Amino acid sequence: MAWRKLSGESLKLPILDEVRNKLIEERLNKLKVCIGTDSQMKGSIIEFATAIVFIRLGKGGFIFHNTYQTERQMTIKERMIQEVSDSIQIAYTVCPVLDEFNIELEVHADINTDPQFKSNVAFKEAMGYILGMGYTFKAKPDAYASTYCANKVVK
């Protein structure tokens, strides 16, 4: 996967190295990291975007993101769980370096807590998956890494 900055500029190093370098560069700021994935249907194609959101507490933030596409047909529930799985995979990858720097991590799910919305069919499974992996869980409306940041990247 090709990781990029929000500007579209490609990251040169593997994501773990990029995260480590950024944490060193930002060491004077209090940071929190949130990871979330969103997807969009485009005919027979589903595009997924994952965002690693670095929040400088009280001072803005920045993101790294990647995207990929699949033609595999999925139910809404399968798609929501795939989004969560993608986020957890990245969280698992970067967690060792976040732990080194004592950085708080949240995994955000683009799933609505209101049962009236279609994405709610995966709410319990997504929450269990994320909490079961030991991460802090956030869903809509608090899941800005997936709902806003990843959503902005997925075209």
Q: CATH no. for residue 34?
A: 3.30.420
Position 120 scores a pLDDT of 84
- Determine the average pLDDT of the residues in 89-95: 96
Asked if residue 84 has pLDDT above 70, the reply is yes
Check residue 71 and give its pLDDT: 93
Q: What is the mean pLDDT of residues 61-82?
A: 93
Domain hosting 139: range is 4-153
Radius of gyration of the chain (CA): 15
Q: Which amino acid is at 80?
A: M
Integer Cα distance of 155 and 7 in angstroms: 14
Give the chain's domain count: 1
How would residue 91 be classed by pLDDT, with cut points 50, 70 and 90?
very high
Threshold 0.85, pTM exceeds = yes
Given a cut of 90, is residue 154 above it in pLDDT? no
